[in-house]
Structure 1
Amino acid sequence: MEKIIEIKDLKMNYGDKEVLKGIDLDIYKGNIIGYIGSNGAGKSTTIKIILGLVKGYSGSVSIFGKNIEDESNNYKEKIGYVPEIAKVYDSLTAKEYLTFVGQIYGLSYEKCDEKSQKLMNVLGIGNAYESRLSSFSKGMKQKVVIISSLLHNPDILFLDEPLSGLDANSVLLIKEILYKLKQEGKTIFYSSHIMEVVEKLSDRIILLDKGNIVADGNFEEIKNSSFDGSLEEIFNQLTGFEEHSQLCSEFVSILKEV
């Protein structure tokens, strides 16, 4: 299999806090990677380093066989990103926003316009193509952000809670699209707190806890290595969070206070 991302001894501190403590990862073409962990585990930091949005780390990150610090590596042209909290320019129409983003990635205005209209039609929001984004619902904005991340047909896709705000039918469609992209040889980093989706969608699951990788493999491999239950239950065992019942009772009892 073709190695598409190589991470060696990746460390990152914010002040005195160690966020990443020496991550080593080889990621191969055509895989959907479930990249999960508690808040503060280092997921977003890893992805932002790979995207070139965060500096000050030690270790190395290579994409397409070249270090990302190498100025000759134009890898950013071949990646797409859906952040957890996507910010769009509300004063723009969907047409203006998508043609703007597409041109940043090197597409012509005409090709951006043509593809954007077609993709919005497929996702059921084509009638709002020339409407301002300020008038869009959360789910509609999320669809526009997903389209913007894919418009240039990237080789690697980074998705942070990509299904946020989508209705059930849209969730099914986006999941099918991700499977199809995988079959086309795309590599997908998928980060979510919805363990059921990660379990079903991912070829490989990487679980971070306090800046370290504590599990790496497909779901069956992780489950067979001394763990039982769903991915959610395994996640709780590995991250040490097993206080649900106690905290639930405490929460409800406080509500009853008069």
Structure 2
Amino acid sequence: MTTLIEAQELTKKYSVRLFSNLSLSVNHGEVLVIRGNNGSGKSTLLKILAGITEPTHGTIKRMKPDLIISYVPEKFPDDIRFTAKQYLYHMGRIQGLTKPELQDRISSLLRQFRLESEHANAIHTFSKGMKQKVGIMQALLAKPDILLLDEPLSGLDTGTQDDLESILYQLKLDGMTILVACHEQKRFNSIVDRGIILGDQPIQSEYYPAGELPHRVIIQADTNAQKLDFLYGIAGVIDKEPIDDGDVIRLDVEPFASDRILLALIQHGCSIQSLHTESEK
């Protein structure tokens, strides 16, 4: 699996700390959902990954020098007087696309998003769901490597949510890498590959949809009297249990995170005693 972005120990503070020591990778062709309550830092994390804002601490490494990242904010402007076709054309020209490229690209996107009949209507007359589609369409004009969507389903009726989820599924089949900030717990489970949950505590957890992973990895390590606070910032730690009066730690982790956690333990002076898998109960 090809990694496109590697984020290490991200911390973001404004007047309060949103999240701290958050590490994650973004892999080619996957759908990654970021969940959490309002104020947990979902939108801010997307903006950091997009390069719109900087983390207070931590590093972002983009593995391709010409990586194209498109970001779609939660709210599309209400008062755009252009038609959908005019708006997409001007946005494409700003992005450096040629007129012939745009003609083909816009026609293809209008078909894919089922807005062909609306192409000559002013965007300010559109419903919120239609405006959301136009926002995503303009983000796709340049055929980005990664599409970042901030609460794309917010305020939409169930039918429109289903429609957008179906479109994202097709984009996934086409090989698009997609990151979605979403607080709806039951949405995207049919297409998501991984998810990260931001909460009130400095603990993040990643998951796969139910049934995708038949086992978990159990790591047992001698702590060598080292503090284990660094484990709170590593996604994928399901459970941890001190044994032998705290001299040994038993970790229950998701398989995708085992290599990262093993490396962190070694780097922090712990000795690995055992490693095995256990079936899900």
Which of the five TM-score ranges fits, normalised by the shorter chain? 0.7 to 0.9
Instruction: Pick closer, same or farther for the CA change 1:47–1:145 going to 2, 3 Å.
Output: same
Deviations 1:158-202 (A, max 9, x none): 112223455655544433332333233321101212211133321
Shift of 1:63: 1.7
Percent pairwise identity: 34
Gapped regions of structure 1 (runs ≥ 5): 66-72, 227-258
Picking from 115, 124, 131, the partner of 1:134 is 124
Mapping of residues 6-25 of structure 1, within 5 Å: 6-15=6-15, 17-25=16-24
Contact map agreement 1:11 1:59 (CA 8 A) in 2: yes
Q: Verify: 1:159 aligned to 2:161, yes or no.
A: no
Deviations 1:123-180 (A, max 9, x none): 3322321222122222221121121111222111111222345565554443333233
Q: Verify: 1:5 aligned to 2:5, yes or no.
A: yes
Instruction: Pick closer, same or farther for the CA change 1:217–1:10 going to 2, 3 Å.
Output: same
Provide the C-alpha distance between the structure 2 equivalents of 1:87 and 1:193, rounded to a whole number of angstroms. 22
Q: Which residue of 2 aligns with 1:117?
A: 107
Contact map agreement 2:92 2:138 (CA 8 A) in 1: yes
Q: Which residue of 2 aligns with 1:212?
A: 202
Shift of 1:122: 3.8
1:209 maps to amino acid: G
Provide the C-alpha distance between the structure 2 equivalents of 1:104 and 1:211, rounded to a whole number of angstroms. 42
RMSD of aligned alpha carbons: 2.7
1:98 counterpart SS class? helix
Shift of 1:46: 0.9
2:100 maps to amino acid: E
Q: Which has the higher helix share?
A: 1
Contact map agreement 2:69 2:146 (CA 8 A) in 1: yes
Q: Which residue of 2 aligns with 1:196?
A: 186
TM-score, scaled to structure 1: 0.73
Q: Which moved more, 1:194-203 or 1:175-184?
A: 175-184
TM-score, scaled to structure 2: 0.68
Provide the C-alpha distance between the structure 2 equivalents of 1:56 and 1:9, rounded to a whole number of angstroms. 10
Q: Which has the higher contact order (CA 8 A, sep 6+)?
A: 1
Q: Which has the higher strand share?
A: 2
Provide the C-alpha distance between the structure 2 equivalents of 1:211 and 1:93, rounded to a whole number of angstroms. 45
Provide the C-alpha distance between the structure 2 equivalents of 1:190 and 1:62, rounded to a whole number of angstroms. 20
Instruction: Pick closer, same or farther for the CA change 1:117–1:170 going to 2, 3 Å.
Output: farther
Shift of 1:34: 1.1
**Which protein has the larger Cα radius of gyration, Structure 1 or Structure 2?**
2
Provide the C-alpha distance between the structure 2 equivalents of 1:3 and 1:33, rounded to a whole number of angstroms. 13
Instruction: Pick closer, same or farther for the CA change 1:43–1:165 going to 2, 3 Å.
Output: closer
